[in-house]
């Protein structure tokens, strides 16, 4: 569209993008392309029907403008309704997150420029699939039902933004904490980061700081890591599993030491190798405040940041690749064969450390449905049910590992 056809002055910016598009592409392979086209078609139709203008489309993101917030809100409702009703290819769960902000539509070249555009984009990035977030400015001009989420400092923006969530009766209202940014009344998450690769370390530090966290120290050796944890008392230590001088398991052994000496410090181990035995060793006694992820998971920034926050808050995070390998190694017939496809999905997400609420949000089902699946899973596997997330992670992993042969570390993809 020609820039001359776009409205100027006070406009409403609208961003929509798919949740975990990287994961969908990995999961669906060649089938992802038609999913992407169908999602664009649904979003574009809603924009056209509500008098909007498409400004840009890049990958899975569609950027549009409207002359008023109510039109943008109606578009968001239509999009979310269509995404829920559409029959997406199995086993994919395709969901869209939407951000709306009213601001100044200043033109330059072929599109809009200015902080209001960036603010709208940052609001969108903070949301989850199925969620519609609005700035206070946009919410003030619409009568749609909303929930006040509070004031947030968003990534890369100096001024905080008051964010509200659209909560129509027909859509889910409960979502995990926002993916990025932090509430103005909450302290920054403090992190000690350890990796012998300066380039990788600096890259991870940058994305964590962009997400509103504070990297209080960086270490290149296990000795420096121990020292910085003792001095800085961070909320979480992010540790490479193989560090100098032998590049074997120094990071893993140091992670155990940190857990013993500083029980209030959470630990997230990163590895470029698929090592189920190491992961099980790390989580052997307590899965609370512990995580194990592959380094290529860092490339999905939203998921990585969410995992860091989850572990720092006392939860767990186990890489899906590790979970899949534990499941695949149970070759003999057993209770796992009795699980339905949906129960197996829930089991994998449980083993990754996700709560019932997070599973419901990921699978786009109700909490009650997840609770029923969890009850059925524990019954079929002969495990004692528990409401404590970290205890049930231990129970599930212990069961899976008991039927898996000892794992030989194998190289995975690197960053």
Residue 290 exposure: Cα atoms within 13 Å on the Cβ side: 25
Q: Which of 20, 12, 136 is nearest to 75 (CA)?
A: 12
Look at residue 297 and tell me whether its pLDDT is greater than 90: no
pLDDT-based confidence at residue 408 (cuts at 50, 70, 90): very low
Q: Quick count: other Cβ atoms within 10 Å of Cβ 279? A: 27
What is the spatial distance between Cα 80 and Cα 129, in angstroms, rounded to a whole number? 9
Q: How confident is the model at residue 215, as a pLDDT?
A: 96
Q: Is the pLDDT of residue 251 over 70?
A: yes
Give the tokens for residue 27: 């999961």
Homologous superfamily of 3-183: Nucleotide cyclase, GGDEF domain (3.30.70.1230)
User: How, if at all, do strands 9-18 and 96-108 pair?
Assistant: antiparallel
Contact 205, 181 (CB under 8 A): no
- The β-bridge relationship of strands 146-153 and 182-183 is antiparallel
Report d(CA 209, CA 225) in Å as an integer.
19
| Poorest-pLDDT segment among 25-39, 258-272, 341-355 | 341-355
d(CA 221, CA 190) in angstroms, rounded, equals 19
pLDDT attached to residue 50:
97
Q: Is 190-319's fold the same as 325-402's?
A: no
pLDDT tens readout for residues 140-183: 988 889 999 999 888 777 788 999 999 988 788 888 788 877 78
Yes or no: is domain 190-319 CATH 2.40.40.20?
A: no
84 phi, psi to nearest 5 deg: -65, -40
For the record, the structure tokens of 35 come out as 């999913």
Domain ranges of the chain: 3-183, 190-319, 325-402
* Whether residue 415 has pLDDT greater than 60: no
- Between CA 82 and CA 46 the distance in angstroms is 9
Task: Phi first, then psi: give them for residue 191, nearest 5 degrees.
Answer: -130, 140
Given pLDDT bands bounded at 50, 70 and 90, which one contains residue 392? Answer: confident
pLDDT in tens, 33-86: 999 999 999 999 999 999 999 999 988 999 999 999 999 999 999 999 999 999
DSSP calls for 254-279: HHHHHHHH-TTSEEEEEESEE-HHHH
Higher pLDDT, 385 or 158: 158
What CATH number does the domain located at 325-402 have?
1.10.10.10
Q: What are phi and psi of 42, to 5 degrees?
A: -60, -45
CA 341 to chain centre: 23
| Residue pair 127/68 in contact by the 8 Å Cβ criterion | no
- The yes-or-no verdict on residue 293 having pLDDT over 60 is yes
Q: What pLDDT does 390 receive?
A: 62
Query: Has residue 196 got a pLDDT over 60?
Result: yes
């Amino acid at each position: 569209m020609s820039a001359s056809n776009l409205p100027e002055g006070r406009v409403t910016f609208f961003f929509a993008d798919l949740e975990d598009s990287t994961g969908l592409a990995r999961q669906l392979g060649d089938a992802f392309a038609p999913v992407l086209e169908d999602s664009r078609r649904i979003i574009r139709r809603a924009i056209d029907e509500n008098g909007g203008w498409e400004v840009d489309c890049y990958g899975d993101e569609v950027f549009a403008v409207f002359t008023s917030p109510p039109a943008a809100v109606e578009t968001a409702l239509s999009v979310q309704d269509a995404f829920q009703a559409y029959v997406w290819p199995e086993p994919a769960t395709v969901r869209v997150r939407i951000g709306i902000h009213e601001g100044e539509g200043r033109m330059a070249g072929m599109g809009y420029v200015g902080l209001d555009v960036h603010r709208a984009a940052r609001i969108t990035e903070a949301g989850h699939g199925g969620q519609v977030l609005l700035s206070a400015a946009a919410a003030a001009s619409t009568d749609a039902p909303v929930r006040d989420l509070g004031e947030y400092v968003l990534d890369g923006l100096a001024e905080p933004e008051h964010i509200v969530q659209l909560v129509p009766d027909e859509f889910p209202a409960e979502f995990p904490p926002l993916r990025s940014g932090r509430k103005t009344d909450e302290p920054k998450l403090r992190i000690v980061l350890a990796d012998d690769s300066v380039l990788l370390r600096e890259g991870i530090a940058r994305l964590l700081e962009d997400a509103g966290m504070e990297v209080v120290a960086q270490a290149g050796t296990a000795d420096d890591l121990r020292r910085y944890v003792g001095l800085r008392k961070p909320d979480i230590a992010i540790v490479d599993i193989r560090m100098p001088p032998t590049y074997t398991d120094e990071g893993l052994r140091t992670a155990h030491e940190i857990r013993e000496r500083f029980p209030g410090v959470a630990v997230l181990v990163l590895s470029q190798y698929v090592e189920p035995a190491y992961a099980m060793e790390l989580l052997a006694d307590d899965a609370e405040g512990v995580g194990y992820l592959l380094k290529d998971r860092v490339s999905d920034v939203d998921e990585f940041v969410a995992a860091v926050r989850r572990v720092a808050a006392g939860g767990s995070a186990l890489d899906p690749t590790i979970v899949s390998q534990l499941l695949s190694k149970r070759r003999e017939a057993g209770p796992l064969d009795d699980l339905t496809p949906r129960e197996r999905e829930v089991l994998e997400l449980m083993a990754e450390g996700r709560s019932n609420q997070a599973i419901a949000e990921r699978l786009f089902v109700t909490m009650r449905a997840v609770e029923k699946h969890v009850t059925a899973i524990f019954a079929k596997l002969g495990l004692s049910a528990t409401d404590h997330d970290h205890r049930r992670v231990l129970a599930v992993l212990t069961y899976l590992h008991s039927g898996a042969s000892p794992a030989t570390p194998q190289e995975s993809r690197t960053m």
